Structure 1
Amino acid sequence: MSHVEDTSIPHVDSEGNDEEQVDFSQQSKTMAPSVEARQRRRIAQLEEKLLTLESTRTVKERQANYYMAQGRAIRRVVALFDNVEDLVTENDRRYDDSDGDQENTLDQDRLQIGYHALTSTLPWFHKEGSEMEYDDYAQLLKILRQGADSARGDDTSKLKALVSDWVNREFKPDPPVDSDDKHSRGFTNYACGMLLCPAELDWKDPVVRAGIRDRSEGYIVTDLSFPAYLYEGYTANPDDLEEGLFKSKILLQSYKAVFTSPSSAKHVEGDGDGADIIENNRRARRSSSGLKVKKHVAHIIKMTKVTPRSIAYIVCQVRFALSSITSWRSVDGDFDYVQFWRTIVDFFEKPPGRGARLRADKLLEWWTRKVFGRSHRDDISNTVKANMSVNALTRQRAQRDDADLDSP
């Protein structure tokens, strides 16, 4: 029979009497599971921390994607060349100069209007930007800028192909404009050259064409000239250069291709022909029936009216699409895109007088009707409202009552 050593140690009380023995071997056996439990708890804690880190990273990625998407509107409707930082700085400067002691320049006014356009397009920006730490704010601006520039690049690529197709369809140049080759455009191409030709010159004149191509004195093309592609019928009236300005078909097509959809750019003929209303109703029916309808740019940024800066953006994009330069830049030879964009913006935002303001507002209403296919009730003038049948009947009834009272 084997001998098992007794590992228990007798416990002796203060008087030397044996008491109940304590078995330490049993204690060691009961301690082992607690170590395993602690290890399991530690693993659970690490897994929880990992989940927290992953969750935080997911939230940050989702937030960055949101900012990126929001930033895509900036070049299109806020400022094509100005940075968000410049807009914020100008707004801060005006806030500090609350007494209005300093006179503002045209450039400063343009920046301030741009800041209002920014906060109107991104309503959350002012509050969130003001509450952020500097590093988070700098990261926000970086992401917004990336979104803005990526959208501009996408629009440039889209219009590169579309504009060549529209030019070929309408003017049938021989050889046709290559949708991929930018070198075949510009003033070397007859159709593109005609559209890029300054309004004050006649492209049909061989002397003019040669002078522009050779960049001769008197024929240098700069941002100080309105190109023919801006005009209705692509022809300007030298005695009234405002007539038909910003009403060209290719400009309207390009605007709709960017802000609504390329398919909507097919419907630009006629003035208020209802084509857009019919299409909008079709989209609404498809949406209400449960079918997914892809949201266009204007819908995403909740844009319901055409704005001066969105027109200026498209004007610059169309010129680039017609030109022979292969990469986006602010200066093309003698033509400064920055100054050109500012000229278009100032045409609408800084008219020289009341009459010019009324004409600019009327032109914007025309654009809104053409792009969105509807007028807005609040935009109807009091004169027009007074001639509508409800108001007209009210006057007629009052006049009859007065006539009855005056009759013997």
Structure 2
Amino acid sequence: MDRIHSNKKQHGLFDTLRELDPNLEEHLRDGEHTSDIAALIDAGRDGACSTDAQSLKKAILDWVHPDGGALIPPLPRDSRVGHRFAHVDTGRLLCPTHLDWDDAKIHKKLQNRTAVVTADQCPTFLYGDLTYDDDDPWEGLFRGQILVQTFKYIFTSPSSASKEGAQPTKPANALLHNMQSVTLASLVYVATQVRVALSSAAFFSKSHAEIKHFYDTMLNQPCDPAEEDEINELLTW
């Protein structure tokens, strides 16, 4: 079943690439440009990830406080020092859903790293109102406010992330790439960027094992056909 799911996933990715470039299949068929095409895709992906990560490092600090207020203590915009579990607000967002950030003992263990956080644990920022329902894990999933703002920042415009109806100063990524709907992959990409921006990681790279594991886990978790209704409802929302 895992192999079937993987094959369907790969075929879906190939179909998406063919939509972007109708001549792709012809170029691949002749075999002469395969390595060049792969190199261009890798370079484009890595460049986009790096650009988004660098830009978000500063922008995301305006959205961290739950009420939109100032961070106490303030966090530097040009450094990762003091992020992750060292700060009460970034720590609350990154805290795994199965742990209680308001529990002083849990708080301390996360800060001194005696509580191990793995890449396959869902951070609280994924959920609307930062609330996780153990009886219904889909309730509020991918609806966290900071996730929505980051999605707007990357795909529509930086100004739309902070002000409803604000006019962008340049064409949005969604428009440039003919992106007409939200996809599960785009949500997972944004979630990964948020995780990086809130943590002590300085960059988003495919070579970073923890980041790659988080992305792959988030993308592959909702693969049960029985969850199709929940996925469709999320994407419609």
TM-score by length of 2: 0.88
**Following the alignment from structure 1 to structure 2, what is the Cα–Cα distance between the partners of residues 128 and 150?**
23
| d(CA) in 2 for partners of 1:320, 1:103 | 28
Deviations 1:281-315 (A, max 9, x none): x78xxxxxxxxx73211111111100111111101
Query: What is the alpha-carbon distance in structure 2 between the residues aligned to residue 211 and residue 171 of structure 1?
Result: 27
2:186 is aligned to: 310
- How far, CA to CA, are the matches of 1:340 and 1:104 in structure 2? 20
Secondary structure in structure 2 of the residue aligned to 1:147: helix
Structure with higher RCO (Cα < 8 A, 6+ apart): 2
Query: Does residue 1:342 correspond to 2:216, yes or no?
Result: yes
2:102 alignment partner AA: K
- Alignment match, 1:140: 37
Report the Cα offset of residue 221 of structure 1: 0.8
**Structure 2 residue aligned with 1:363:** 234
CA distance in 1, matches of 2:46, 2:109: 35
Counterparts in 2 of 1:212 and 1:105: CA distance versus 1, 3 Å: farther
Q: Displacement of 1:206 after TM fit?
A: 0.9
How far is 1:154 from its partner? 0.6
**Contact map agreement 1:185 1:192 (CA 8 A) in 2:** yes
Aligned to 2:127: 231
What CA distance in whole angstroms lies between the structure 1 residues aligned with 2:7 and 2:134? 32
Where do 1:1-400 residues align within 5 Å?
104-131=3-30, 134=32, 136-168=33-65, 170=68, 172-216=70-114, 219-267=115-163, 294-330=170-206, 336-348=210-222, 350-353=223-226, 356-366=227-237
Identity of aligned residues (%): 29
Deviations 1:203-233 (A, max 9, x none): 01110011222333xx311122110100101
Structure 1 residue 105, shift from structure 2 partner? 4.6
Q: Structure 1, residues 42-68: CA drift from partner, whole Å, max 9, x if none?
A: xxxxxxxxxxxxxxxxxxxxxxxxxxx
Residue 45 of structure 1 is matched in structure 2 by none
- Supply the distance in 2 between the matched residues of 1:250 and 1:321 (Cα, whole angstroms): 11
CA 1:162–1:105 in structure 2 vs 1: closer, same or farther (change >3 Å)? same
Q: Structure 2 stretches of 5 or more lacking a match?
A: none
- Calculate the aligned-residue CA RMSD, in Å: 2.5
Unaligned 5+ runs, structure 1? 1-101, 268-274, 284-292, 367-408
Alpha carbons 1:254, 1:314 under 8 Å: kept: yes
User: How far, CA to CA, are the matches of 2:21 and 2:96 in structure 1?
Assistant: 37
Secondary structure, in 3 states, of the residue corresponding to 1:170? Answer: coil
Deviation at 1:104, TM superposition (A): 2.8
Say which SS state the counterpart of residue 118 (structure 1) adopts. Answer: helix
CA deviation after TM superposition for structure 1 residue 195, in Å = 0.3
Structure 1 stretch displaced more, 247-256 or 105-114: 105-114
Q: Which amino acid aligns with 1:357?
A: E
Mapped to 2, the partners of 1:173 and 1:295 lie a distance apart of: 31
| Structure 1 residue 179 displacement after superposition | 1.3
8 Å contact kept, 1:171–1:191: no
Distance 2:98 2:6 in 1: 27
Question: Which is greater in Rg?
Answer: 1
TM-score by length of 1: 0.53
CA contact (8 A) 1:253 1:266 kept: yes
Question: 1:148: how far off?
Answer: 1.9
Q: Which AA in structure 1 matches 2:19? A: S
Tell me which amino acid in the other structure corresponds to 1:150: G
State the Cα distance separating 1:262 from its structure 2 match.
0.4
